[in-house]
Chain A
Amino acid sequence: MKDSLVLLGRVPAHPDSRCWFLAWNPAGTLLASCGGDRRIRIWGTEGDSWICKSVLSEGHQRTVRKVAWSPCGNYLASASFDATTCIWKKNQDDFECVTTLEGHENEVKSVAWAPSGNLLATCSRDKSVWVWEVDEEDEYECVSVLNSHTQDVKHVVWHPSQELLASASYDDTVKLYREEEDDWVCCATLEGHESTVWSLAFDPSGQRLASCSDDRTVRIWRQYLPGNEQGEVHYLSCRGGMQRLLTQWKCICTLSGFHSRTIYDIACLTGALATACGDDAIRVFQEDPNSDPQQPTFSLTAHLHQAHSQDVNCVAWNPKEPGLLASCSDDGEVAFWKYQRPEGL
């Protein structure tokens, strides 16, 4: 297990500050980092090392909490505690802030692009999740304001192929949303975590959703569509006696006892997931080869103590290079790792 996660390098991404989040561009060639120093940095490789190619410093007045690349790779969105979300347009190594999305009452905690590239979601400590639409002229309009959560919303993420949105909150739940007629609705609430849900990740196929929490567990959820072969059937009894088949989400696996502190982030690959923990460690779990897809089991295949000198805030798998993992921490550093799948798994 010691050799399964190897350090490739570290960079002092946000010196004297925290590094909050990382995002690989869709091509896997650039890594965006953001932090408490109100800056966003874009990292690229030069030979064997990682160098800072751009610094985006005039966008925000407070901590930048999350960054997200558009599916085409030409835009970067940044969510900040200053209650705004900036949209940056990439022009080779330069980034220009083309729009600032306002409207949230207070700190924006997360931003995410839908797979189509036409929709954006943001969420905030004001307990709401907003869906925005962008048109051909790069104009953004608010399409929906969803007030389903009862507390601070920490993270939003889109399904990899459908227009399905998931959010995680301080109210201990995960909620899912989709468009119905001319508005967005909350179509499911996943309960089970006993404390704040900090982050979410869909697996590349979109069949499963992983969540991680302050309760030190990871939960894997699976969507059961109407007519599924497992016979899972759920009805919604509407007013008027009409009944409607709902897709239901069930928790099919809980990973507990592995983390000694809050789990702040989770990142999924097919059959594997990485976690960022408040005990300064990074862990990787692999799905057991013969486990039942309806009740999967996972084994801990990498546990790197002291991956950083403080809380690990984010882990992100490179979308193109298998096994390349980036992580960042309250210590302001970004680290790059190579994960080797252990033999026999």
Chain B
Amino acid sequence: MRPGGAFRQRGGTSHFVSRRLATPARGSSAAVMASPFSGALQLTDLDDFIGPSQECIKPVKVEKRAGSGVAKIRIEDDGSYFQINQDGGTRRLEKAKVSLNDCLACSGCITSAETVLITQQSHEELKKVLDANKMAAPSQQRLVVVSVSPQSRASLAARFQLNPTDTARKLTSFFKKIGVHFVFDTAFSRHFSLLESQREFVRRFRGQADCRQALPLLASACPGWICYAEKTHGSFILPHISTARSPQQVMGSLVKDFFAQQQHLTPDKIYHVTVMPCYDKKLEASRPDFFNQEHQTRDVDCVLTTGEVFRLLEEEGVSLPDLEPAPLDSLCSGASAEEPSSHRGGGSGGYLEHVFRHAARELFGIHVAEVTYKPLRNKDFQEVTLEKEGQVLLHFAMAYGFRNIQNLVQRLKRGRCPYHYVEVMACPSGCLNGGGQLQAPDRPSRELLQHVERLYGMVRAEAPEDAPGVRELYTHWLQGTDSECAGRLLHTQYHAVEKASTGLGIRW
């Protein structure tokens, strides 16, 4: 045995007990302790309790000046650090800050991003804001807006044995009861996400000759997928990802820009909460791209999962079915809001179907009534083709779940991806099966998912082009469909994360 053999036995420092949340993982690996984040994010060490062998991407950047030898560091009473140069001069050192968003980007972190996120965006935080509102003078109060996703609504409907319309109305009733001012539906903002995706595809398809990276175009609504792509494949994959914002973030623009103007408020005076089927959406909300520098406010202040709303209902002692249904709010005064609306094409938003049908029409003049899916290696990987006279005009796919994302990315890297567009989602079975959805211990999970899917599908589907209020908003709020405003408010950017090598890396 060589000296230092003990070094081999345990790599890390102490053996942390994983503080996982109660929600077990969805999908096949029925682990007892599991992270609530999607599989794609789990693999990127977002919730890792790390020993020193992991690498931190946030090294403290020090400006090296030539000739500055060894420096001394003095700690002041107030905790600030001063560097004392050889000539006696002092320089205040900047604190190394690890923000929530660094946690987002990091592939190995000192604290758990999970815990940080949960405390900063939770139903507790919402309650604090609502309580603060009660105590505050009118000029200090914030307008509280909640935007509910159709997937969360379907999950709650299943749990409480209600239809989607009643669920929407009773949720509105509940939120207003606790002090929320407006309750919106992200199916409305989804119209914009779909329209922008459709337009972007047609533009890129037409421009294929000029740009090698134009196609395939990959959907952008899923933050689990985006974070994974930024961290793992960086500059290779990012040019292929649609720049269209997700419904959550379009709603952020709508609420903090359009609606704020309507209410004669600055964006920071609005506290915008969204209700989403997964935890990954919390990360999306905290991206710097969705932070309004001018008013120092986020487009979405707080994301609650369906489960957290359920907990909120319990803590408030409210039985949702017993509430009186309230009328639904609408962002457009003209639009009637008797019942919620949705989109065709499945529980993850319908990106494939909308882009496909629009492209068939715009590019080839073909009207597609029903989209036919062909399952491939597993049910989370299916393809759709548009053929005419034996020629394949359009070849699209949906790839859900990490293993299918893997295969897609690897094929892309090898130049063997046959698709023009892929709807990519991190969760197997899509958003209706997100890690933040409600579970029923007394029902097999597959049966519950099917029930949620049925409830989701019950809501009447609307074509985004025909939805009331959308055209008007493009004209009056965005000043046109391809305007600078539309680009700024309906689109976003992606940033590859470079892994820095630091001394913390112990190589085995």
A residues 302-345 in Cβ contact with B at 8 Å? 310-311, 330
Q: Contact: B406 with A142, CB < 8 Å?
A: yes
Q: Contact: A186 with B406, CB < 8 Å?
A: no
Q: Contact: A278 with B29, CB < 8 Å?
A: no
- B residues in contact with A33, CB < 8 Å: none
Q: Which of B44, B406, B442 has a CB less than 8 Å from the CB of A239?
A: B442
- B residues in contact with A262, CB < 8 Å: 5, 8-9
- B residues in contact with A103, CB < 8 Å: 406, 410
Q: From known contacts A145-B406, A147-B25, infer whether A239 and B441 are also in contact, taking CB-CB under 8 Å.
A: yes
Q: Which of A152, A185, A261, A310 has a CB less than 8 Å from the CB of B29?
A: A185
Q: From known contacts A143-B377, A152-B11, infer whether A186 and B5 are also in contact, taking CB-CB under 8 Å.
A: no
Q: How far is the CB of B406 from chain A (nearest CB, A)?
A: 4
A164 at the interface (CB under 8 A from B): no
- A residues in contact with B447, CB < 8 Å: 240
Q: Contact: B407 with A107, CB < 8 Å?
A: no
Mark the stretch among A112-120, A176-184, A223-231, A265-273 that contacts chain B.
A176-184
A57-78 CB mask vs B (1 if < 8 Å, else 0) is: 0000011000000000000000
Q: From known contacts A81-B508, A142-B406, infer whether A239 and B440 are also in contact, taking CB-CB under 8 Å.
A: yes
Q: Contact: B43 with A182, CB < 8 Å?
A: no
Number of interface residues of A (CB under 8 A): 42
- A residues in contact with B440, CB < 8 Å: 239
Q: Contact: A147 with B441, CB < 8 Å?
A: no
Number of interface residues of B (CB under 8 A): 41
Chain B residue, CB-CB nearest to A309: B2
A279 at the interface (CB under 8 A from B): yes
- A residues in contact with B43, CB < 8 Å: 105, 126, 128, 145, 147
Q: Contact: A242 with B377, CB < 8 Å?
A: no
Chain B residue, CB-CB nearest to A277: B1
Q: From known contacts A147-B42, A240-B443, infer whether A185 and B2 are also in contact, taking CB-CB under 8 Å.
A: no
A residues 235-273 in Cβ contact with B at 8 Å? 238-242, 261-262
Q: Which of A180, A196, A280, A311 has a CB less than 8 Å from the CB of B28?
A: A180
A49 at the interface (CB under 8 A from B): no
B332 at the interface (CB under 8 A from A): no
A214 CA / B10 CA spacing, docked (Å)? 9
- A residues in contact with B181, CB < 8 Å: none
A126 CA / B444 CA spacing, docked (Å)? 30
A297 at the interface (CB under 8 A from B): no
Q: Contact: B5 with A311, CB < 8 Å?
A: yes
B402 at the interface (CB under 8 A from A): yes
- A residues in contact with B443, CB < 8 Å: 239-240
- B residues in contact with A184, CB < 8 Å: 28
B107 at the interface (CB under 8 A from A): yes
A residues 197-230 in Cβ contact with B at 8 Å? 214
B403 at the interface (CB under 8 A from A): yes
A148 CA / B25 CA spacing, docked (Å)? 10
B residues 1-31 in Cβ contact with A at 8 Å? 1-2, 5, 8-11, 18, 25, 27-31
- B residues in contact with A128, CB < 8 Å: 43
Q: How far is the CB of A31 from chain B (nearest CB, A)?
A: 24
B293 at the interface (CB under 8 A from A): no
Chain B residue, CB-CB nearest to A186: B29
- A residues in contact with B444, CB < 8 Å: 238-240, 242
A103 CA / B2 CA spacing, docked (Å)? 34
Q: From known contacts A147-B42, A182-B378, infer whether A196 and B18 are also in contact, taking CB-CB under 8 Å.
A: no
- A residues in contact with B27, CB < 8 Å: 183
A170 CA / B8 CA spacing, docked (Å)? 12
Q: Contact: B9 with A279, CB < 8 Å?
A: no
B379 at the interface (CB under 8 A from A): yes
| Secondary structure class of chain A's binding surface, majority of residues | loop
Q: Contact: A182 with B403, CB < 8 Å?
A: no
Q: Contact: A278 with B11, CB < 8 Å?
A: no
A residues 136-190 in Cβ contact with B at 8 Å? 141-148, 150, 152, 170, 180, 182-186
- B residues in contact with A62, CB < 8 Å: 507
Q: Contact: B508 with A145, CB < 8 Å?
A: no
Q: How far is the CB of A219 from chain B (nearest CB, A)?
A: 18
Q: How far is the CB of B507 from chain A (nearest CB, A)?
A: 8
Q: Contact: A105 with B44, CB < 8 Å?
A: yes
Q: How far is the CB of B394 from chain A (nearest CB, A)?
A: 23
Q: Contact: B31 with A186, CB < 8 Å?
A: yes
- A residues in contact with B39, CB < 8 Å: 145, 147
B102-122 CB mask vs A (1 if < 8 Å, else 0) is: 000001000000000000000
- B residues in contact with A232, CB < 8 Å: none
Q: Contact: A196 with B9, CB < 8 Å?
A: yes
B462 at the interface (CB under 8 A from A): no
- A residues in contact with B428, CB < 8 Å: 183
A102 at the interface (CB under 8 A from B): yes
A126 CA / B442 CA spacing, docked (Å)? 33
Q: From known contacts A105-B44, A141-B377, A238-B444, infer whether A150 and B28 are also in contact, taking CB-CB under 8 Å.
A: no
A128 CA / B402 CA spacing, docked (Å)? 12
Q: Contact: A310 with B1, CB < 8 Å?
A: yes
Chain B residue, CB-CB nearest to A214: B9
Q: Which of B2, B28, B31, B445 has a CB less than 8 Å from the CB of A310?
A: B2
Q: How far is the CB of B492 from chain A (nearest CB, A)?
A: 25
Q: Which of A145, A186, A311 has a CB less than 8 Å from the CB of B402?
A: A145
Q: From known contacts A126-B43, A142-B407, A239-B444, infer whether A147 and B1 are also in contact, taking CB-CB under 8 Å.
A: no
B371 at the interface (CB under 8 A from A): no
A143 CA / B377 CA spacing, docked (Å)? 8
- A residues in contact with B9, CB < 8 Å: 195-196, 214, 262
Q: Contact: A239 with B445, CB < 8 Å?
A: yes
- B residues in contact with A102, CB < 8 Å: 410
Q: Contact: B28 with A185, CB < 8 Å?
A: yes
A261 CA / B43 CA spacing, docked (Å)? 32
Q: How far is the CB of A179 from chain B (nearest CB, A)?
A: 10
A184 CA / B378 CA spacing, docked (Å)? 11
Residue of A81, A145, A146 with most partner-chain B CB within 10 A:
A145
A102 CA / B236 CA spacing, docked (Å)? 15
B33 at the interface (CB under 8 A from A): yes
Q: Contact: B29 with A146, CB < 8 Å?
A: yes
Q: Which of A186, A195, A196, A261 has a CB less than 8 Å from the CB of B30?
A: A186
A81-93 CB mask vs B (1 if < 8 Å, else 0) is: 1000000000000
- A residues in contact with B379, CB < 8 Å: 182
Q: Which of B33, B232, B410, B442 has a CB less than 8 Å from the CB of A150?
A: B33
Q: Contact: B45 with A126, CB < 8 Å?
A: yes
A304 CA / B370 CA spacing, docked (Å)? 72
Q: From known contacts A105-B107, A107-B508, A126-B45, infer whether A278 and B1 are also in contact, taking CB-CB under 8 Å.
A: yes
B436-460 CB mask vs A (1 if < 8 Å, else 0) is: 0000111111010000000000000
B355-390 CB mask vs A (1 if < 8 Å, else 0) is: 000000000000000000000011100000000000
A143 CA / B9 CA spacing, docked (Å)? 32
Q: How far is the CB of A36 from chain B (nearest CB, A)?
A: 10
Chain B residue, CB-CB nearest to A146: B29
Q: How far is the CB of B236 from chain A (nearest CB, A)?
A: 12
- B residues in contact with A63, CB < 8 Å: 508
21 contacts between A and B (CB under 8 A): A102-B410, A105-B44, A126-B43, A142-B403, A145-B43, A145-B406, A147-B25, A147-B29, A150-B33, A182-B377, A183-B28, A184-B28, A185-B30, A196-B10, A239-B441, A239-B444, A239-B445, A240-B447, A261-B1, A280-B1, A311-B2
Q: Which 3 A-B pairs have the closest CB atoms?
A: A182-B378, A183-B28, A142-B406
A105-B44, A142-B403 known; 15 new pairs, CB 8 Å cut-off, are A103-B406, A103-B410, A126-B43, A141-B377, A142-B407, A143-B403, A145-B43, A148-B29, A148-B31, A152-B11, A182-B379, A186-B31, A214-B9, A239-B441, A240-B442
